[in-house]
Each structure stands twice: as structure tokens, then as C-alpha cells.
Structure 1
Amino acid sequence: MKKDTHEFIHTYQGLGAFGMDRETDEQTLMFYLQKFSEDTFMKTFVPRLSDDELEKIYQCIHGFLKQHITEDEYHELFLKDR
């Protein structure tokens, strides 16, 4: 059974713009991240990154996770291992 979902991308009707207001910014970021994480895109994009770029992306994401979610949330919501 699949654990991951990407439902937002299939129903979003709003703008794909950033800098207008907080709600639009949040929705645009969710849209971009779900499009970004799509398997076909990742298979094309990731191999083109340098080692330094891979590390920067990982450190950025990992840093935000550590800063904004608890360890329990990390396991339950991100890893889905509980």
C-alpha cells in the first residue's frame, strides 16, 4: 500500500505566483514541491546536480525539518514509519 500522497496538486486551482500574499505563497510552494518531487522529473533533474548542489538541497530541507517539526512528527508525517 502506498503511504505517500500528492492530492493537493490534483485539485489546486489557484495562482502559481509568489510574493502576493501569505496564503498564495504557501499554496504556490506546495504546488512547486509536489511537482518537483514527481518521479519522472526527479530522474531527469537529480543526476544533473553537482555533489555540492545535492548536499545544499539536502542540508536545506533537513535543516527546515529539524527547525519546524518534532521528532515524532518527523517519523509519523515525513517518514511514515509509525
Structure 2
Amino acid sequence: MKKDTHNFIQEYKGLGALGLDRETDEETIMFYLQKFSEDSFLKAFIPRLSDHELEEIYLFINNKLKQHICEDEYHDLFLKDR
């Protein structure tokens, strides 16, 4: 059984623009992140990054996780390991 979902992108009909209002900004980020995380895109994109860029992306994401979600949410929502 698959644990991960990308349902938002399948149903999204919004503008995909940043700076209009908070709701559109949030939807745009969700759209970009789901498109960004597609296997076929990452397979092409990741090898083009330098070691430093890989580290920057990892540290940015890890920092945001630590700032905005608790340990239980990290395991339940992000890792889905429980």
C-alpha cells in the first residue's frame, strides 16, 4: 500500500501565482512542491545539482521541518513511519 499522496496537484485549478493573497500563495507552493517531487522530474534534476546545492536543499528543508512541526508530526506526517 502506498503511503505517499499527491492528490492536490490532480485537482488544483488555481492560478499558480505568488503574491496575490495568502490562500493562493499556499496553493501555489503546494503545486510547486508536488510537481517538484515527481520521480521523473527529480531523476532529471537531481544529478545536475552540485554537492553544495544538494546540501543547501537538505538543510533548508530540515530547518523548516524543525521550525514548524513537532517530533510526532515529523514521524506521523512526514516520515509516515508509525
TM bin, normalised by shorter chain, reads: over 0.9
Gaps of 5+ in 2: none
* Partner Cα separation in structure 2 for residue 72 and residue 10 of structure 1: 28
Q: 1:6: how far off?
A: 0.2
Equivalent residue for 2:20?
20
After the TM superposition, which residues 34-53 of structure 1 pair with which residues of structure 2 at under 5 Å, given as runs? 34-53=34-53
Identity over aligned pairs, percent: 74
Q: Is 1:62 matched with 2:62?
A: yes
1:25-44 Cα distance to aligned partner (Å, 9 max, x none): 00000000000000000000
TM value normalised by structure 2: 0.99
TM value normalised by structure 1: 0.99
* Partner Cα separation in structure 1 for residue 70 and residue 45 of structure 2: 30
* Partner Cα separation in structure 2 for residue 41 and residue 33 of structure 1: 11
1:21-72 Cα distance to aligned partner (Å, 9 max, x none): 1100000000000000000000000000000000000000000000000000
* Partner Cα separation in structure 2 for residue 2 and residue 81 of structure 1: 12
Instruction: Output the amino acid matched with 1:72.
Output: D
How many residues matched? 82
